[in-house]
Amino acid sequence: MPGPVSVAPEILAQIQADFSREWQRLCREAESGMLAPPKDRRFSSAAWAANGQHVLLAHTYLLVSQVMNRMVDSAQVSDSLRERLRFSAMQWVDALSPANFLAFNPEVQQSIVESAGKTLSLGLSNLLQDIKKGRISQTDESQFEVGRNLACTPGQVVFENRLMQVIQYAPRTDTVYQRPLVIIPPNINKFYILDLQPENSFVRYAVEQGHTVFIVSWRNPLASDTDGVDQATWSDYLDGAVLKAISVASDITGQAQVNALGFCVGGTMLASALALAQARGARPVASLTLLTSMLDFHDTGVLSVFVDENHAMFRDQQFGRGGLMPARDLSNTFSFLRPNELVWNYVVGNYLKGQTPPPFDLLFWNSDSTNLPGPFFSWYFRNTYLENNLKVPGRAQAAGLSLDLTRLDMPAYLYGSREDHIVPWPSAYASTRVLRGPARFVLGASGHIAGVVNPASRNKRSYWARPMGEDKMPGDPNLWLENAEEHPGSWWVDWTRWLDPHGGKRVKAPRSQGNAQYKPIEPAPGRYVKVRAV
């Protein structure tokens, strides 16, 4: 057990002196009426500025927060423990903001008075509804429906099993590339993050470029299921889902190889499945795209605070005979990585102010997470986040075979998001040291999801890349960045320029989806994606 956490006496004295000096300054300015509101959006309304006591309260809170963070930074502990302390301090600091409490938030109090109590009544109603749902509403969910205005790119489900459905999308061009594109999304969420609305659908964009697109739609297992899906393992997913989806696309299009894309956990699964195929002497993929994916888990960012042997052993024991990792647990974990933005912002808006959050397709998707088979999750947690086995040839196994990702030598397009807190971009870049084929790395602006979903038609944000064909990969990602050029707009355009030559020649677009062996089952987006976790 770690000993008590301490701070060097001289540093502690300096922190105390700085706090005292700053506190006295705040009090003087408050007494003279010269204390300006802090530059923090939680205290930016006119109601906060109108009362000197509330302004002082906000500043005091921020000052104490600063002291707590300095104490953590100065603690004489290991780096791993410091990260846990920093995460814990963030949770307490963000939760105790005076803006989160009716008694201390003048903006909330003013809205109650001006509405004659209506906002308070609406807030209580919102709270009761969210208690029934078991989660905080982050968007107006009544404005979205999967299959109506989300996941509405036309296509057909052409295969299904207990783990997933495979969707083939209808062409939107007269001719298509011979070689299809198979997309493996993360199975901790629904696939339609890549097929939101028509104007920001990555799937639709790829189809419009002339690619025959297949995507995996993951089963959302429920506690009521009786087919043993709760006992599915990592090996089951590699063989029965990833490699099977590739096989289905290959058979339907008559191509020996496909182009494959994996997003987040889907990228880790895809690379692992290809290593499994390689161990069997098969090479089913001509090119590989990995979006915000990790193959080397040396730096897992803020998620490292959850990773230790005790947690892994707990999950191993919990799921030793099957069971489900609840979607709610995963969703809460990711929300509390950014509590001000994804938790307390909505507590104040929904419950204290009685507001309905604005409709936002990405946040609707964010609330539509999936359960995971326990054995799959426990294998993944131990072999990636805890032991980092995938990057070491032969250390990880699947289906009784050793996996060696360093034998994957197909051309690879690797994408990272610069502000990603889930997959730090240097960790996405680290895949260049695992894969052995020619690689192109591109760094997009924004975060884990918004960086990926950056439609070419909107020409927003930017990305960093080196000239096509000049993709030398230094070991230091920052050295790569120093020599990369920033380009305005979406990285999607750069990706299609890279992918198109791997598609083969153009042929007449098929008039229907599926074939004699894999006949259409139902229209896209299919049944699986509409099952919500309970």
The whole-angstrom separation of Cα 66 and Cα 408 is 47
Residue 96 half-sphere exposure toward CB, CA atoms < 13 A:
14
DSSP of 174-225: SEEESS-EEEE--TTB-GGGGSSSGGG-HHHHHHHTT--EEEEEE----TT-
Count the alpha carbons within 13 Å of 113 in the hemisphere toward its beta carbon: 8
Residue 490 amino acid letter: S
Nearest CA-CA partner of 177 in 206, 135, 153: 206
Cβ pair 331, 135 in contact under 8 A: yes
**Active site annotation includes 264:** yes
What is the gyration radius of the CA atoms in the chain, in angstroms?
A: 25
Asked if residues 150 and 365 have their Cβ atoms less than 8 Å apart, the reply is yes
Q: How far are the Cα atoms of 355, 378, 422, 478 from residue 435, in angstroms, in the given order?
A: 49, 25, 21, 19
Outline where 41-155 has alpha helix (H).
46-49, 52-74, 79-95, 106-114, 118-133
Sequential DSSP letters for 469-520? T-----SSHHHHHHT-EEEES-HHHHHHHHHGGGG-SEEEPPSSSS-SSS--
Q: If we measure between CA atoms, which residue out of 404, 443, 450 comes closest to residue 424?
A: 443
Q: Which residue is catalytic, options 264, 288, 348, 414?
A: 264
Rounded Cα–Cα distance for residues 174 and 510 (Å) = 9
Active site residues: 264
